[in-house]
Amino acid sequence: RAKQEGRNTYRLFRAEMHVKDHHDLALETALRNTAETGDGLAVHYQPLVDRDSGEVHGAEALLRWTSSEFGPVSPGDFIPLAERSGLILPLGRRLMHLVAGQLRDWRESGLSPPRVAINLSARQFWQSDLVAEVRQLYEDYDLPPGQIGFELTESTLLDKHQQATDTLAALRELGCYIAIDDFGTGYSSLSYLHQLPVTTLKIDRSFVRDLGVSRSSGAILAAVTGLARELGLRVVAEGVETEAQLEALRDYHVTLIQGFLTGRPAPAEDFEARYLRSALVRT
Ligand code: C2E
Ligand code: MG
Ligand code: MG
Ligand code: MG
């Protein structure tokens, strides 16, 4: 009966939504079409750079959607919609294949693409067949171990500790590196996360933005990076936009940088020209 009531509440909520937000519904319909056909989807790649050597250590795959009806839609709008509606599952699957196909193309043209990280939302992570799907992906596209990794947020990993551990361990066996995304914005402790087989912490860009402005940002950064190092986790700073921020990060010994300063998310062709071709010339 409780279940029944829950369902009614949900229906009521939906009914309100219909009245309140036609635009949202139309957007959801468009996104559903896109999830079915793949039309209008693209992947942008943003480099993760070692500040000292300038070397590209990895890239993050970021989904882009241009709707035939609405034009380009920001991920800040369509990702939450995709998560609410469940469309993130088919969309995420398409993204994985786009990325794997791109990586295979690059390798077949003699290039050496770095590891690419794919964002997984909670619904994707808790899919029972995630590991099988990823394993199949590695096989179908003939990817070397670790070529594709994942980013998850703290909240995704908070409950079902044993299950989370098992899934992450299975992904680690495929060589995948696992990053905690937007670290510091959730409520989890580093000591809890460390019990999980994760490899990397990505410090949320709010801490980077406030560097030198708010004293607490620096204190948090110092604590987190110190502990992470001791625990053997890699630390990445995201959202680095200015030289001043880059300079300030030096105090915290953060050397892996992802941000507009070191490289904006770009289409595969641009990423290739800038980071894969030029690297070929350099070596
Ligand atoms: P995220 O995973 O934290 O991704 C980083 C976001 O920060 C990206 O926004 C990127 O463009 C932006 N960014 C990078 N450097 C800078 C910088 O220096 N300054 C500023 N202001 N922003 C920077 P984007 O592409 O809009 O993505 C937003 C969020 O959407 C992502 O946050 C991620 O949570 C989600 N997302 C994107 N693609 C996917 C996907 O394929 N699957 C899932 N599940 N989520 C995705
Ligand atoms: Mg991310
Ligand atoms: Mg992030
Ligand atoms: Mg973020």
The 10s digit of each residue's pLDDT in 75-100 is 999 999 999 999 999 999 999 999 99
Residue 213 near residue 18, CB atoms below 8 Å: no
pLDDT tens column, 45-77: 999 999 999 999 999 999 999 999 999 999 999
Q: How many CA atoms lie within 13 A of 39 on its CB side?
A: 9
Residue 258, CA distances (Å) to 50, 59, 147, 237 in order: 9, 9, 18, 6
Side chain identity, residue 166? D
Residues near 258 by beta carbon (within 8 Å), at least 6 away in sequence: 46, 47, 48, 49, 60, 202, 236, 237, 238, 239, 240
Which of 92, 93, 89, 39 has the alpha carbon at shortest distance from 66? 39
261 CA closest ligand 1 atom index: 18
By the 8 A CB rule, do 276 and 106 touch?
Answer: yes
* pLDDT at position 106: 98
Distance in Å, CA 109 to ligand 3 centroid = 30
- Residue type at position 231: L
Q: Give the Å distance between the CA of 11 and the centre of ligand 2.
A: 32
Alpha helices in the chain (DSSP H): 2-20, 22-37, 75-85, 88-108, 122-125, 130-140, 154-157, 161-173, 190-194, 205-209, 215-231, 243-250, 268-271, 278-282
Question: In this structure, what token pair is assigned to residue 45?
Answer: 């790649």
CA-nearest residue for atom 4, ligand 1, is 62
Distance CA 118, CA 134 (A): 11
User: Residue 40: how many CB atoms within 10 A of its CB?
Assistant: 19
pTM to 2 decimal places = 0.91
Q: Tell me, what's the pLDDT at 17?
A: 58
- Closest residue by Cα to atom 20, ligand 1, is 239
The pLDDT score that the predictor gives to residue 227 is: 86
Instruction: Using the atom order of ligand 1, give the atom closest to the CA of residue 151.
Output: 2
Ligand 1 pocket mutation pick from 48, 49, 74, 119 by most atoms within 8 angstroms of CB: 119
Ligand 3 center from residue 7 Cα (angstroms): 34
Residue nearest atom 23 of ligand 1, based on CA coordinates: 239
Tokens of 97: 């294949």
Query: How much distance in Å is there from the Cα of 144 to the middle of ligand 2?
Result: 22
Say how many Å lie between the CA of residue 205 and the centre of ligand 4: 7
∠ CA 111-115-121, nearest 5°, is 140
Helix 75-85 and helix 88-108, axial crossing angle in degrees, nearest 10: 120
Q: What is the pLDDT of residue 8?
A: 64
Closest residue CA from atom 15 of ligand 1: 259
Atom of ligand 1 nearest to the CA of 95: 41
Ligand 1 neighbours (beta carbon < 6 A): 46, 62-63, 75-76, 79, 88, 92, 95, 119-121, 151, 181-182, 205, 239-241, 259-260, 265
- Closest Cα to residue 191, out of 177, 175, 204, 180? 180
41, 62, 151, 153: which to mutate for ligand 1, most atoms within 8 A of CB?
62
Residue nearest ligand 1's atom 11 by CA = 265
pLDDT tens over the chain, length 283 residues = 555 555 666 666 666 655 557 888 999 999 999 999 999 999 999 999 999 999 999 999 999 999 999 999 999 999 999 999 999 999 999 999 999 999 999 999 999 999 999 999 999 999 999 999 999 999 999 999 999 999 999 999 988 999 999 999 999 999 999 999 999 888 777 778 888 999 999 999 999 998 878 888 888 899 889 988 888 999 999 999 999 999 999 999 999 999 999 999 999 999 999 999 975 544 4
